[in-house]
Amino acid sequence: MLNILTDVYDNLRARYGDLRWWPARTPYEVIVGAILTQNTAWGNVEKAIANFYGDALASRFTDGAGGLRPEAVFDAGVAELADIIRPAGFFNQKAQYLKKVTAWFALYNYEVSAVQSVPLAKLRPELLSIKGVGQETADSILLYAFGFPTFVVDAYTMRLCERYPVNAGNGYAEVKSYFEMNLPPDAALYNNYHALIVINGKRHCKKKPACDGCPLENLCGRRVL
């Protein structure tokens, strides 16, 4: 691991620990969350997912173990799904995206182990071919739902690279490649690293940075004095 990436990770982990992302009951719920979180706050995603577990819908959309049933989502109409996920915003589009990504999961009989038996190099293009699934969404699904070592890049990652600075390049593909080339191919590491970047981005490395008390404040090249 390059020293600069080690410094960032070690300082963030010392502050926040192991965060054990993604917050979901099941791998399929990770998939749903990855679609719904596009262009909205996570609190809105939680409200949308909670609707599936409400008294009126739980018997259809959840299983005996309390997980969301992909079969039920696959069978539901787009209009019904749009109404359920309304709190997440852009609900008509996201309902269609959710149907399509669930149809992809159906190709593997909704079995996590079946997906995990396929090479990452095949799965990622499959997901990217689905309307509504971009690079961040695809990598989030592959990392957090299925445990593949594929680094997730988001606005928080880009901001950290710019401010720290980490010379990771420009654009999603370059930054993703930089992290993957200079970190061990370890899904648990990628999981926690991205989670740490996000939590620090929300608390300190905001659009208007709040540098005081940031675990990186003595190392960051863009510290606001």
What CATH code is carried by the domain that includes residue 138?
1.10.340.30
Q: Is residue 164 part of a domain?
A: yes
198-205 long-range Cβ contacts below 8 angstroms, 24+ apart: 198/154, 198/156, 199/16, 199/19, 200/12, 200/15, 200/16, 200/156, 200/160, 201/155, 201/156, 201/159, 201/160, 202/156, 205/156, 205/159, 205/160, 205/163
Give the pLDDT confidence score for residue 223 in this predicted structure: 60
Q: Is residue 197 part of a domain?
A: yes
Same domain membership, residue 36 and residue 88: yes
Say which residue the tokens 């192991």 belong to: 18
Same domain membership, residue 137 and residue 169: no
DSSP state of 13: H
Same domain membership, residue 85 and residue 40: yes
Q: Is residue 210 part of a domain?
A: no
More confident residue, 151 or 221: 151
Same domain membership, residue 41 and residue 138: yes
Same domain membership, residue 138 and residue 32: yes
Asked if the model's pLDDT at residue 2 lies above 80, the reply is no
Q: Is residue 86 part of a domain?
A: yes
Q: Is residue 213 part of a domain?
A: no
Asked if the model's pLDDT at residue 225 lies above 50, the reply is no
Whole-number Å distance between alpha carbons of 106 and 100:
10
Q: How many domains does the chain have?
A: 2
Same domain membership, residue 58 and residue 132: yes
Asked if the model's pLDDT at residue 156 lies above 50, the reply is yes
Same domain membership, residue 102 and residue 161: no
Q: Is residue 112 part of a domain?
A: yes
Same domain membership, residue 137 and residue 37: yes
Give the pLDDT confidence score for residue 78 in this predicted structure: 97
Asked if the model's pLDDT at residue 146 lies above 80, the reply is yes
Give the pLDDT confidence score for residue 220 in this predicted structure: 83
Same domain membership, residue 54 and residue 38: yes
Q: How confident is the model at residue 21 (pLDDT cuts 50, 70, 90)?
A: confident
Rg (CA), the chain: 18
Whole-number Å distance between alpha carbons of 65 and 208:
43
Kindly report, residue by residue over 166-198, the tens digit of the pLDDT: 889 999 999 999 999 999 999 999 999 999 999
Domain containing residue 58: 27-145
Whole-number Å distance between alpha carbons of 121 and 119:
5
Among 10-19, 125-134, 209-218, the range scoring the smallest mean pLDDT is 209-218
Contacts of 84 (CB under 8 A, 6+ apart): 48, 51, 52, 57, 76
Q: What is the pTM of this model?
A: 0.94
Kindly report, residue by residue over 84-129, the tens digit of the pLDDT: 999 999 999 999 999 999 999 999 999 999 999 999 999 999 999 9
Same domain membership, residue 59 and residue 133: yes
Kindly report, residue by residue over 39-73, the tens digit of the pLDDT: 999 999 999 999 999 999 999 999 877 799 999 99
Give the pLDDT confidence score for residue 164 in this predicted structure: 86
| Cβ-count burial 16-52 (b if 16+ within 10 Å, e if not) | eeebebbebebbbbbbbbbbbbbebeeebbebbbebb
- 3-state SS assignment for residue 100: helix
Whole-number Å distance between alpha carbons of 167 and 174:
10
Q: How confident is the model at residue 23 (pLDDT cuts 50, 70, 90)?
A: confident
Q: Give the residue from 98, 124, 145 where a domain finishes.
A: 145
Asked if the model's pLDDT at residue 1 lies above 60, the reply is no
